[in-house]
Amino acid sequence: MVDEREVAALHAVIAAELDPETARIVSWSAGARTGDYLLARRIPQAAQRLLRVLPSRLASRFLLAAVQRNAWTFVGSGDFRVTSGVPVRITISGCPICRDVAAGAPRCGYFAATFQRLYRTLVHPKAEVREIACTAGETRRCEFEIRWP
C-alpha cells in the first residue's frame, strides 16, 4: 500500500513522458500484471477454484463483492461503486490516477486491464472491459463496463 499521491504522480509521468499510444500500452500492461499479482498472492486458490466453476453471473457477483470490500486499496480517497448484471458497471468517483488531470482520452487503462484480467480468469474467458467515461475527460467519475457472452 502506497500513498495515492505517489501512484497519481507515477501515472502522470507516464502520460507526460511517453507518446499517448505507448502510455496506453504501459498502463494496460501494468494493470494486467496487477491482476496477475492479485491472482498469485491475494485471492485464495480455493476461492479462485470456486469462482471458475460457478455460473458467470454468480461468479461475477462474488468477485465484485470481494473487490468492493478491498477497493480502498486502489481507489484511496475515491469512491467505488458497482452495479451488478450484464453489463457490470464499475464507477470510481475521485479516481486518484486521473483526478485534476485534463486529457482528451480516458486515462484509466490500468484499472480496466486489472478488472479484465480478473474477469477473464475467474468469471468468463471472453470478458471485455471498456472504460466508458473518465474524470480526465469531461465527466465527474471514471466508469467501466464489463461484458461477456
65: Cβ contacts below 8 Å, ≥ 6 apart: none
CA distance 121 to 115: 10
Instruction: Choose the weakest-confidence range: 53-57, 67-71, 100-104, 131-135.
Output: 100-104
User: Mean of the pLDDT values across residues 122-141?
Assistant: 92
73: Cβ contacts below 8 Å, ≥ 6 apart: 1
Confidence of residue 138 (pLDDT cuts 50, 70, 90): confident
What per-residue confidence (pLDDT) applies to 27? Answer: 95
User: Mean of the pLDDT values across residues 58-73?
Assistant: 96
129, pLDDT greater than 80: yes
Q: How many domains does the chain have?
A: 1
Report the 10 Å Cβ neighbour count for 108: 24
Question: Measuring CA to CA, which residue among 149, 83, 86, 147 is closest to residue 112?
Answer: 147
Question: Measuring CA to CA, which residue among 89, 86, 14 is closest to residue 56?
Answer: 86
Report helix, strand or coil for 146: strand
Per the structure, the complete domain to which residue 105 belongs is given by: 4-147
Confidence of residue 66 (pLDDT cuts 50, 70, 90): very high
Q: What is the CATH number of the domain that holds 91?
A: 3.30.1380.20
